[in-house]
């Protein structure tokens, strides 16, 4: 009897141990489920990737906005320059016509000065009248930013002068404007018409010596 009882107790202990092992296997502890961990990691990765995409889109939009603002500013400045040029140089054609009239008046004054002294009083009045008209034209041109170029004694400048001939002489350095055939004009800082000039040229040494000997 006593032996049988011992064997029954052993069987009961074994059954309890097996039941306990099965319970532990079927009921894993909280936080140790690998499926839960993988899901959480996947969600975090997706969230991080979404944030990076949003940051990249924000950066692109910011760059596009800055470029658009810079282009708007360039257009505004260009329009301002064009408007300023239109204001300054819109009368260019008119100014070219006027300076031709001024040239004719100057020639008339010069011709009167060279005329004979007969009818001196009449010629003097004519000369004074033409001189007044010439002065008025000059004043009107100045109001519109048109200025005469009279470069006598100045170094030749191809930006404002047109050389018509050279004059050999020793009085001025080579390249100096010594004669003006036709005045030039500029409107503000832009050339309207170049001055037609004669330019000094240094004499060759043997020419100077020949003249001295002569």
pLDDT tens sequence across 70-99:
888 898 888 888 888 887 788 787 787 788
pLDDT at residue 23 greater than cutoff 70: no
Q: What is the pLDDT of residue 5?
A: 47
pLDDT at residue 18 greater than cutoff 60: no
Half-sphere exposure of 158 (CA within 13 A, CB side): 0
Query: CB of 182 within 8 A of CB of 195?
Result: yes
Q: What is the pLDDT of residue 33?
A: 56
Query: CB of 198 within 8 A of CB of 166?
Result: yes
Confidence of residue 209 (pLDDT cuts 50, 70, 90): low
- Sketch out the chain's domains with CATH numbers: 67-144 (no CATH), 147-214 (2.30.22.10)
Confidence of residue 60 (pLDDT cuts 50, 70, 90): confident
């Amino acid at each position: 009897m006593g032996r049988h009882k011992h064997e029954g107790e052993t069987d009961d202990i074994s059954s309890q141990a097996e039941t306990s092992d099965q319970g532990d296997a079927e009921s894993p502890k909280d936080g140790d489920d690998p499926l839960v961990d993988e899901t959480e990691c996947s969600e975090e990765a997706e969230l991080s990737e979404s944030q990076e995409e949003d940051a990249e889109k924000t950066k692109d939009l910011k760059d596009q906005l800055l470029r658009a603002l810079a282009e708007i500013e360039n257009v505004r400045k260009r329009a301002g320059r064009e408007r300023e040029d239109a204001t300054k140089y819109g009368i260019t054609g008119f100014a070219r016509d006027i300076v031709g009239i001024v040239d004719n008046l100057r020639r008339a004054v010069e011709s009167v000065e060279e005329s004979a002294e007969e009818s001196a009083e009449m010629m003097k009045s004519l000369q004074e009248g033409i001189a007044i008209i010439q002065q008025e034209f000059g004043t009107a041109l100045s109001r519109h930013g048109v200025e005469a170029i009279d470069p006598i004694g100045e170094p030749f400048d191809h930006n404002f002068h047109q050389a018509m001939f050279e004059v050999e002489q020793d009085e001025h350095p080579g390249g100096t404007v010594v004669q003006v055939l036709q005045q030039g004009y500029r409107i503000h800082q832009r050339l309207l018409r170049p001055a037609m000039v004669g330019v000094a040229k240094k004499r060759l040494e043997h020419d100077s010596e020949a003249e001295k000997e002569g």
